[in-house]
Amino acid sequence: MATLGPQSHVFAESYVAEDYVLADARARSTEIGVDPVDTGTGAALRLLTAAAGARAVVEVGTGVGVSSVWLLRGMRPDGVLTTIDLEPEHQRQARLAFREGGFTPSRTRLIAGRALDVLPRLADGAYDMVFVDGDRAEYPQYVAEAYRLLRPGGVVAVAGALGGGRVPDPAARDPQSVTLRELAKSVRDSDDWLPALLPVADGLLAAVRTHGTR
């Protein structure tokens, strides 16, 4: 079985180029010490969002708007992105990216707060996609909330699912690696999800909510 070498990985990650809107947002991320999604992950998010025909998306972890712009570009023109971040300053920076990208204020709903306080207030079954890029220790709770928030056929996408390459190593027993490893296993083994683990950047765990009920 052929495997991707480093050169193939670099080629795949740069296959879709970023424009000045994303480049500027990425530069602002560096300035304030926020680690945004890489280009390959962003392109995958845009693809998943477009494939879902998404009008309503929830994002856990606004950052300064890099992933938000990718999501918005995959959504329907009348879609609304609800994006949550603990830091109001991050979201202030994200608004710059939204303006530069030509998105009207009505396309985004920015909520400052802890995700686990905000998510329970959102409506059941009202969303087409949930993107998770927040506190890794809280990922299992985010995914549980995503199941409730998504319509049947909706998509959850979880960034950083490979945990810096430690998740595939059974000898890595630090709390974050264990949490991510157990999450990946629980999603894979559940009848609630139809999953795939995409090898972009640090791993993107994506899963479709099945039509079954718990």
pLDDT in tens, 24-44: 999 999 999 999 999 999 999
**117, pLDDT greater than 90:** yes
pLDDT in tens, 146-170: 999 999 999 999 999 999 999 999 9
Contact present, 60 and 115 (Cβ < 8 Å): yes
3-state secondary structure of 131: strand
Mean pLDDT of 57-67: 97
Look over the chain and give the mean of its residue pLDDT values, rounded to a whole number: 94
Torsion sign across C-alpha atoms 119, 120, 125, 126:
negative
